[in-house]
Amino acid sequence: MEFSHRLRTWVLTIFLIFQSGYGWYLPGSYPHKYVVGDTLGVKVNSLTSIDTEIPFSYYSLPFCQPQDGVKDSAENLGELLMGDRIENSPYRFKMYTNESEIFLCHTGPLSGDQFNLLKKRIDEMYQVNLILDNLPAIRYTKKEGFVLRWTGYPVGIKVKDVYYVFNHLKFKVLVHKYEEPNVARVMGTGDGAEVIPTVAKSDSDVPGYIIVGFEVIPCSFMHNADSVKKSKIYEKYPAPIKCDPTTVAMPVNEKQPIVFTYEVEFEESDIKWPSRWDAYLKMEGSKVHWFSILNSLMVITFLAGIVLVIFLRTVRRDLTRYEELDKEAQAQMNEELSGWKLVVGDVFRAPSNASLLCIMVGDGVQILGMAVVTILFAALGFMSPASRGTLITGMLFFYMILGIAAGYVAVRLWRTIGCGDHKGWVSVSWKVACFFPGIAFLILTTLNFLLWGSHSTGAIPFSLFVILLLLWFCISVPLTLIGGYLGAKAPHIEYPVRTNQIPREIPAQKYPSWLLVLGAGTLPFGTLFIELFFIMSSIWMGRVYYVFGFLFIVLILLVVVCAEVSLVLTYMHLCVEDWKWWWKSFFASGSVAIYIFLYSINYLVFDLKSLSGPVSATLYLGYSLFMVVAIMLATGTVGFLSSFWFVHYLFSSVKLD
């Protein structure tokens, strides 16, 4: 028990070190105590829309700005890559102090450009995202008797060709009495008290509250702009304001100002701090249909188990029968060899484009290792939705570290194919370090130019581009070269049989072998397609994905199914005397990427019907292509390595001359 406590503490410490910004804690990891009357500042994130998938800065629209100017909050690498731009806002509360009819500001007369931009953002259904104490603002609506939950609120609405803006916000802040001064006990980290800051003893006796909910109701209220010309921010609005979310009253007109106001109400809640994210994780449409997924997994597991059992029985029976024969019978049997035994002199013949195969396998090991470690840490709770950007930051960190594994596997495989030749290992290592990152860089740079042209916050700043290049060439590349050096020093894998000088002619096949290889991807796709729907929904529909424990199980099952499919296909090709199994074993499982890409197009056509404009569609297809390439390399690597192990085991078990 003590070891597990210390292990968790060390892992947490590592994450604390790599968390940028407020580098001594994970955002949202422990409760913040507020005393009655303390100032609470609301932050704003990028404007987002499922209609375009292109985020924009909050202050790109004519909204009220803070008195002390707009300031960026501390952001990590993952937040920047995801397009999050968290900034301060003029909305300000006092803990447990209800306020109403608070004047915020009035804009100047809207220019033609501002008017047209505001109408465009309303047409594209852009949402305003507010944050209080790391909690996004949540909005509740009723439809056909059901309560729907949304994060953020719309900029405005169009009714009968007239555009209305939501210029009055009614906030409700849910608070809970602060009970636990020892943060380590709240988190259950045991020895973590040495790492995580605790509340000072002098403040422990002061009654306080923690924020457990943040709700917003947007209203469109017709203000009298002339009556507030001399009003200052946070002053009382001169007339009563009735917030009715079912009606709209503030039309947007060119050369007319917009007045913004708000009110806030505090309510004590029974919700405890560890449960405050439940409202976001249980949003409509994002519930995992457990029965459907488990049913699918059971079917796939059962089918794969049958295939594996039949396959093992066939091979083991063949080997057992051969081993039980005496030498004379074996000699006679060697003269009557058939099937996979006939390709003994060619089964380990070097494939075409061997270096490319080694490079792709090395990159596949790196991607698969990154996925396993990242999802495992996310399942343990270290990458919760409360820690924005931590998931992407963790993926980059683990990917760079696993460059050692990529270089080692690629170079050792290269030496094995070359029968121990050391020449070319540096070149292979360099190509491994640049192959997949180069593809990713090409795709993301192309998409970034589109985002730059749209003035979107989703565009990666030039400074971040430089940081990513430095991480690539100063960390990832050297680690890959180190892995390649270790692979060059490690003993290569000895083949159990000799390879003939003259390649054996492959008999004519009744059907194209590549057709069977491409069709093999349906079984791995059946393992993950239901989970894929929820992942796609979380990425493109603004929902929160949180079932990382189940995703880890699906990933392990996917690896098993990919290995089984590749083994079966390799054995079938060897049985028909087709000894060119290297690339086919890779694409037998890697072909699942084709079906995922087709599913992505299907999702675009039928689920993202509202996706507007060629830029949005290009972004979607570009990111989907990037994801598909990564999946192909990872699943193809699983298939190839399992087939290589099988072929090596099969021909080392039977001595054939």
pLDDT category at 76 given cuts 50, 70, 90 is confident
595: tokens are: 């079906």
Position 613 confidence tier, pLDDT thresholds 50, 70, 90: confident
- Other Cβ atoms within 10 Å of 122 Cβ, number: 20
pLDDT score at 514: 79
Say if residues 124 and 51 touch (Cβ distance below 8 Å).
yes
Examine the domain organization and report whether 359 and 459 are in the same domain: yes
How much is the pLDDT for 655? 57
Provide the pLDDT for residue 443: 94
By percentage, how much of the chain surpasses pLDDT 70?
A: 82
In a domain, 544, yes or no: yes
More confident position, 288 or 7: 288
Residue 62 in this model has a pLDDT that exceeds 70: yes
If one counts the domains in the chain, the total is 3
- In our burial notation (b when 16+ CB lie closer than 10 A, e otherwise), range 164-201 reads bbbbbbbbbbbbbebebbebbebbebbebeebbeebee
pLDDT of residue 317: 67
Angle, helices 354-379 vs 403-417, to 10°: value is 150
Residue among 258, 177, 259 nearest 210 (CA):
177
User: Is 599 found in the same domain as 474?
Assistant: no
Q: Does residue 44 share a domain with residue 154?
A: yes
Give the least confident one: 94-98, 169-173, 241-245, 366-370. Answer: 241-245
Q: Is pLDDT above 80 for 329?
A: no
Domain that holds residue 474: 353-494
Q: In this model, does residue 430 exceed pLDDT 60?
A: yes
Task: Express each pLDDT in 83-96 by its tens digit.
Answer: 788 999 999 999 99
Q: Is the pLDDT of residue 335 over 70?
A: no
Q: Phi and psi for 262 in degrees, rounded to 5?
A: -160, 170
pLDDT surpasses 60 at 334: no
User: Could you count the other beta carbons within 10 Å of the beta carbon of residue 81?
Assistant: 18
Residue whose pair of structure tokens reads 């203000």 in the numeric block: 223
Q: Is residue 289 scored above 90 in pLDDT? A: no
Q: Are 504 and 342 in contact (CB under 8 A)?
A: yes
Please indicate, yes or no, whether residues 527 and 568 belong to a single structural domain of this protein: yes
Same domain as 376, residue 269 = no
Same domain? 602 vs 530 = yes
Which residues share a beta bridge with 177? 209
* Closest by CA position to 136, among listed 46, 71, 55, 68: 46
> Which of 319-328, 388-397, 639-648 is least confident?
319-328
Is the confidence at residue 564, as pLDDT, over 90? no
Question: Which whole number is the average pLDDT over 348-369?
Answer: 94
User: Which residue has better confidence, 353 or 145?
Assistant: 353
Provide the pairing of β-strand 130-132 with 39-44: antiparallel
| Residue 504, in any domain of the structure | no
Residues 593 and 576 in one domain: yes
State mean pLDDT over 634-651: 91
Residue 481 in this model has a pLDDT that exceeds 90: yes
Average pLDDT, the chain: 82
| pLDDT over 60 (residue 340) | yes
Residue 223 and residue 76 in one domain? yes
Asked if the structure places residue 330 within a domain, the reply is: no
In this prediction the pTM is 0.83
> Would you say residue 3 lies in a domain?
no
Q: Does 149 lie in the same domain as 265?
A: yes
- Decide if 523 is inside a domain: yes
pLDDT of residue 326: 55
Same domain for 461 and 539, yes or no, is: no
What is the pLDDT at residue 200? 43
Q: What is the rounded average pLDDT of the residues 542-557?
A: 81
Q: Are 120 and 156 in contact (CB under 8 A)?
A: no
pLDDT tens-digit readout, 485-520: 999 998 888 888 887 877 777 777 777 777 888 888
pLDDT tens sequence across 212-259:
999 999 999 998 888 888 889 999 998 888 888 889 888 999 999 999
340 part of a folded domain:
no
Is residue 240 located within the same domain as residue 173? yes
Q: Is 479 found in the same domain as 521?
A: no
Burial code (b: 16+ CB inside 10 Å, e: under 16) for 205-239 equals eeebbbbbbbbbbbbbbebeeeebeebeeeeebee
CA distance 385 to 372: 19
- Predicted pLDDT of residue 202: 46
Please report whether residue 23 resides in a domain. no
Higher pLDDT, 18 or 137: 137
Q: Is 228 inside a domain boundary?
A: yes
- Average pLDDT for residues 370-390, to the nearest whole number? 86
The CA distance from 43 to 26, in Å, is 18
| Among 281, 306, 341, residue at a domain's last position | 281
User: Domain end: 494, 521, 544, which one?
Assistant: 494
